[in-house]
Structure 1
Amino acid sequence: MATATAEKEKSVLWDWLTTVDHKKLAVLYLVAGTLFFVKAGIMALFMRIQLMYPENDFLSGQTFNEMISMHGTIMLFLAATPLLFAFMNFVIPLQIGARDVAFPFINALGFWVFFFGGLLLSVSWFVGGGPDAGWTAYAPLSTGDYSGLGMDFYVIGLQISGIGTLVSAINFIVTIINMRAPGMTMMRMPLFCWTSLIASILIVFAFTPLAAGLALLMLDRIFDGQFFTVDNGGNAVLWQHIFWIFGHPEVYILVLPAFGIISEVIPAFSRKRLFGYTAMVFATLIIAFLGFMVWVHHMFTVGIGPITNSVFAIATMAIGVPTGIKIFNWLFTMWGGKITFNTAMLCASSFVPTFVLGGVTGVMLAMVPVDYLYHDTYFVVAHFHYIIIGGIVLGLLAGTYYWYPKMFGHKLNETLGKTMFWLYFIGFHMTFFIQHILGLIGMPRRVYTYLEGQGMETMNMISSIGSYIMGLGILVLVINVVYSAYTSERITVSDPWDARTLEWSLPTPVPEYNFAQTPQVRSLDPWFYEKVHGDAKMKPAEPLADIHMPNGSILPFMIGLGMFIWGFGMIMINMENAIMPPFIVIGAGVVITFGSMLLRSIKEDHGYHIPLERVKQIEKEVS
């Protein structure tokens, strides 16, 4: 019995390590992103303990710098992005009527390379300390003269993780453009697919300059390059340009898929079609275009000049117009609707005013003379978190409660869900709204302590209490996931929300092949159309036949592992008393990485077929 159990556990583990199924990879992204999110959240709680009292010594200045650097880096690169990729992986093929993404092997490769890159960054805590130059890694603080070994982990870890994100984005672009079901024109795609497509295009154009900048910083730190060393002809401001050419589109890489989630949840629970679909699509395109034209608003205090500052100030204000279109369209969708205020809808509807507040303070920061006053204060911290935490995380929470039944076969508990929402929502505004005022009275950001008697004690105390209330809300979500797994009834219907899009036409759990027959799309909201004008069944666009599926493979895992070893070897060049020569470790990583790639190229993999009889049997069981 014990041997059989061990074999079963081994087979399950092997299945998850080798899977190329987009639905299982979505779960892997969800688990990995959640772990990184919790890790970064705990760091935030430690920092708020430090700032709860003036002249507190809970954390040292060095530890605070490491935590603030890792908190920002993890939240943006290793938590928000993979959590969004989880929903993109699960939902996009289902919404466009596809059996999987365009390149299932590349999809698995993207996850494992991202994961091992994040793991390498996390190892820094145990080998020489975490990165300590801030999440933006401004030169010269991030060069070898002013920062420790942790910045090497930052540089190499983000390069590896970024490669995984980049290949996944290319995969999504190809999938959405080439694999839509018959009848699903571009202007019939769900908004979530549109925003995911545009975000993926932004990744291609934004992550490449970041990769170049990280490569230059790596050459500076490991091979004594001089790209950012002013004394030897380098330019420290060059790093800021490279980083923010990536950094501001990165905000929209995260925000746009959250916009897409909101655009799915609000119509579903307002019992109305999304208002102004065409305007929403073109607003998304305009936001993406303008997103590359505003990066200098992060650099108004650098001294670039009044003409440049003015041009980028105007562009920054202009981006509020297409964003405003989205806000009003969501409001008009809810107007007159028969709204169901469950947890998903509470998160989605509260997203709107929260994001508006973050946008309004963004327009304030776009005014150059005023930015000189706000720039290095907690006002910017408050603005940024209203966009990222108040906006993107509320979108993620809405998506979690909305798609959870389809992903896991049961609903999350609504009582615990609403408790989570109110704790999170109240705690969030307690934490960050008051930081606007802290910034206006002059509290600088990036400091680990402050003096008594400056009028900041009470507001910092309130902000810290709010962060723990917000953290309690996330804890309730974790409890809800565990509690619901054991107590919730399994979903027996395909569409528990009476929703509108194609994924809700599929049975729960979704078969491994998704659609036995590719559906014929006849409307913008194809599933809702068939419920109203048809027989509540999608019309097939092809006869029932054998289904071809891709085989699983351990090679994506091995390539990610090889890149981890390779990267660690590069970092060992700067280590004192390394346990072995770095180039041996680098060589081992290179052999594993390229050996796995070579094995993939020479080994033919034709996948496997699910016979017609088996397809009919599965369809009969799930119906």
Structure 2
Amino acid sequence: MASSTQTISRLTTLWETPKTVYGWFATVDHKTLGIRYLVTAFSFLVIGGLEALVMRLQLTRSDMAVLTPEEYNQIFTLHGVTMIFWYASPILSGFAVFLVPLMIGARDMAFPRLNAFTYWTFLLSGILLYVSPLIGQAPHAGWFSYVPYTLTKYSPGMGMDFYAASLVLLTISTTGGAINFIVTILRLRAPGMAISRMPLFLYSTGTISFVILFSLPSLTANCIFLELDRRWGTHFFRIAGGGDTFLWQQLFWFFGHPWVYVIFLPATGMLSMIVPVFSRRPIVGYPFVAIATVLTGVVGFGVWLHHMFTVGMSDIAMSIFSAGSMTVSVFTTIQVFAWLATIWRGRPVATASMYYAVGSIVLLVIGGLSGVFTGVIPADWQAHNSYFVVAHIHYVLIGSNMFPVFAGFYYWLPKMMGRRMNEKLGKISFWVMFIGFNLGFFPMHNLGLLGMPRRIYTYPAGAGFDGLNELVTFGAFVLGIGILISIINFFHSLRAGAPAGENPWNADTLEWSTTSPPQVYGSEHIPVVVSRHPLWDEFEEEDDPDDDRVLDWGRLTPTTTALDAIPAGIATIPADSLAPLWMSLALFAFFLFVIYQMLWWMVASVIVTFLVGCYWMWPHVEKEVVE
């Protein structure tokens, strides 16, 4: 379809954010916000990784004194919460914020200002967490923060208050993002993109968005209850006041195990996009992979008690949750076999992205098998609270999150920055990371079976742990070097990389039909989809001088029906605004005042939040371009 210079000029005027200080803070462009998510979350990965290396120095040999016990506990806690909450899920949100509108042919997310709000809240929640070590008040009870150790009797400082407040602020961000993804995926898909034609990444992102809505409130409630018990005289967890310490574990793991799939499923969705492209054929078993993705999210809610097999419960309860643990592994197995069959029946191309994808499958299988092991009740009793569990969680979270994320970087960064990454450096980075990871974490299985407990800052000489721990520390530093190689590759390619072009990988999904990087308005014409592989199928659209799919008379994008993507209307996309940043700052102030128990300032920040919300929702005349 012939491009019109006049049309492109109108669309650019409508959608472009001013290149000013105001524009930088006020932008609601999903592409800019997606990149900010990625940069911020990757920064938290680097911070969490450095914390891990410091811990490994402490544990290299017995009776080391690199850290005091309290310093170790603080770094251990910051590492855990940073990696699980501020890296693993937000990095996937960054990909989704950037890619989902492009994949579905929309001009932006359904709620662009909410999109900006969730980014600023995510950033400020991380800042709130890291204020604590700067003032010597870091949390010290682990990412799980079991009571009663986290109550004021055993944790009298403000560290656990920072933990609770920053997590509640983060859950506000994550919940807003989940709502935005659900509405965007269900109602803004291009005409013809029925749910049976959606890219599998949309199934995984949509599934975890629903999981977030049902699981995250239990974490929010838990943190609120903890803060009320600590500073406001309630008794949710205080046994002397009629509370129950096991309430924390029940609520925490009701959130905690579904969260595993929140930081796992979008990454598997990325693999389901990358593996077919570099296998040069459609994915095997598309319907089965889609159904398995959804069922993983559903059945994942019936697994949380397998974290609590050792606390004492009835045999029938343990048996039910053990069966759930076995059942949920079947759905992951379906995806693994689909990827392997796709590679086997295709013509694989050995790119850096494909290296990371295949490496991720290997690590996911190892982590999945050890997970089934911990779902067997007698085995779990023996391995619980040992380094075997540490090995399992890192194989699952790094194997099924970080390696797919790097596969995604090498695959989609050319689309984001317009230049290709260096393939040779990418492959070197993969092998260094893969070898370092396995050297660092596989021996932890052996350490756990030898009896090394988790969550300890040192161990006695003669316990037989020294040799394996030296190997683990060496592997951790090798893994860090591998990550550093990719960081160097990124900055080098940003300036000297080969131009990417629109579709350097000959991929099949709509984001590759746009320029690299994409224009501010995405696609000039709203696409029409007739299959699952719109860029691989021969489908020619006729030029139409009266084409009504340009939508260049305002900030507009079409809406479609949820199931069959039949055109249903046109949505107006709000323009740039500072309101999301103001509201985020007001909430940040509110939680800071909660920590310091400044009641009247808390009330003032609530009032400011309400007023900003009124301004945000007040009708505004959106910009239009009239010829």
Normalised by the size of structure 2, how large is the TM-score? 0.92
- How many residue pairs get matched? 592
Is residue 2:337 matched to residue 1:322? Answer: no
Which amino acid is 1:561 matched to?
Answer: L
Is residue 2:67 matched to residue 1:37? Answer: no
Tell me by how many angstroms 1:535 deviates. 8.0
User: How far apart, in 1, do the equivalents of 2:509 and 2:546 lie?
Assistant: 16
User: How far apart, in 2, do the equivalents of 1:336 and 1:570 lie?
Assistant: 58
**Pairing 1:178-193 to 2, within 5 Å after superposition:** 178-193=187-202
Matched-pair contact (CA < 8 Å) for 1:519–1:541 = no
Is residue 2:567 matched to residue 1:561? Answer: no
CA distance 1:235–1:498, shift in 2 (3 Å)? same
1:132 aligned to which of 140, 143, 152: 140
Which amino acid is 2:550 matched to?
Answer: L
Matched-pair contact (CA < 8 Å) for 1:520–1:540 = no
Say which SS state the counterpart of residue 187 (structure 1) adopts. helix
Which amino acid is 2:94 matched to?
Answer: A
Matched-pair contact (CA < 8 Å) for 1:546–1:611 = no
Is residue 2:623 matched to residue 1:608? Answer: yes
Say which SS state the counterpart of residue 90 (structure 2) adopts. helix
In the TM superposition, what whole-angstrom CA distance separates every residue of 1:549-605 from its partner, at most 9, and x where no partner exists?
Answer: 2311111111111111111111112xxxxxxxx235424433432221122233x33
User: How far apart, in 2, do the equivalents of 1:264 and 1:290 lie?
Assistant: 24
Matched-pair contact (CA < 8 Å) for 1:431–1:467 = yes
In the TM superposition, what whole-angstrom CA distance separates every residue of 1:425-461 from its partner, at most 9, and x where no partner exists?
Answer: 1111011000000000000000000011111101000
User: How far apart, in 1, do the equivalents of 2:407 and 2:223 lie?
Assistant: 34
Tell me by how many angstroms 1:516 deviates. 1.8
Is residue 2:358 matched to residue 1:334? Answer: no
User: How far apart, in 1, do the equivalents of 2:536 and 2:129 lie?
Assistant: 45
Matched-pair contact (CA < 8 Å) for 1:19–1:553 = yes
User: How far apart, in 2, do the equivalents of 1:514 and 1:196 lie?
Assistant: 20
Give the equivalent residue in structure 2 for 1:19: 27
User: How far apart, in 2, do the equivalents of 1:401 and 1:383 lie?
Assistant: 26
Give ranges in structure 1 of 5+ residues lacking alignment: 1-9, 574-581, 613-623
Between stretches 547-556 and 86-95, larger displacement belongs to: 547-556
Is residue 2:175 matched to residue 1:169? Answer: no
Say which SS state the counterpart of residue 263 (structure 2) adopts. helix
Say which SS state the counterpart of residue 365 (structure 1) adopts. helix
2:554 aligned to which of 548, 561, 578: 548
Say which SS state the counterpart of residue 527 (structure 1) adopts. coil
CA distance 1:342–1:541, shift in 2 (3 Å)? farther
1:238 aligned to which of 226, 234, 247: 247
Is residue 2:287 matched to residue 1:278? Answer: yes
User: How far apart, in 2, do the equivalents of 1:544 and 1:62 lie?
Assistant: 61
Is residue 2:459 matched to residue 1:450? Answer: yes
Is residue 2:203 matched to residue 1:194? Answer: yes
Tell me by how many angstroms 1:273 deviates. 0.2
User: How far apart, in 1, do the equivalents of 2:625 and 2:257 lie?
Assistant: 46
User: How far apart, in 2, do the equivalents of 1:456 and 1:250 lie?
Assistant: 32
Give the equivalent residue in structure 1 for 2:562: none
1:498 aligned to which of 503, 506, 518: 506
Is residue 2:122 matched to residue 1:107? Answer: no
**Pairing 1:479-498 to 2, within 5 Å after superposition:** 479-491=488-500, 493-498=501-506
Matched-pair contact (CA < 8 Å) for 2:583–2:613 = yes
User: How far apart, in 1, do the equivalents of 2:534 and 2:222 lie?
Assistant: 44
Say which SS state the counterpart of residue 608 (structure 1) adopts. coil
**Pairing 1:530-549 to 2, within 5 Å after superposition:** 530=538, 533-534=539-540, 542-549=548-555
Give the equivalent residue in structure 1 for 2:8: none
User: How far apart, in 2, do the equivalents of 1:429 and 1:239 lie?
Assistant: 34
**Pairing 1:219-368 to 2, within 5 Å after superposition:** 219-368=228-377
User: How far apart, in 2, do the equivalents of 1:165 and 1:349 lie?
Assistant: 29
Say which SS state the counterpart of residue 411 (structure 1) adopts. coil
Between stretches 250-259 and 122-131, larger displacement belongs to: 122-131
Between stretches 439-448 and 328-337, larger displacement belongs to: 328-337
Which amino acid is 1:451 matched to?
Answer: P
Tell me by how many angstroms 1:341 deviates. 1.1
The percentage of counterpart residues that share the same residue type is 40
Tell me by how many angstroms 1:606 deviates. 3.3
Which amino acid is 2:342 matched to?
Answer: T
Give ranges in structure 2 of 5+ residues lacking alignment: 1-17, 556-573
1:68 aligned to which of 57, 61, 76: 76
User: How far apart, in 1, do the equivalents of 2:246 and 2:486 lie?
Assistant: 42
Is residue 2:611 matched to residue 1:595? Answer: yes
**Pairing 1:349-498 to 2, within 5 Å after superposition:** 349-491=358-500, 493-498=501-506
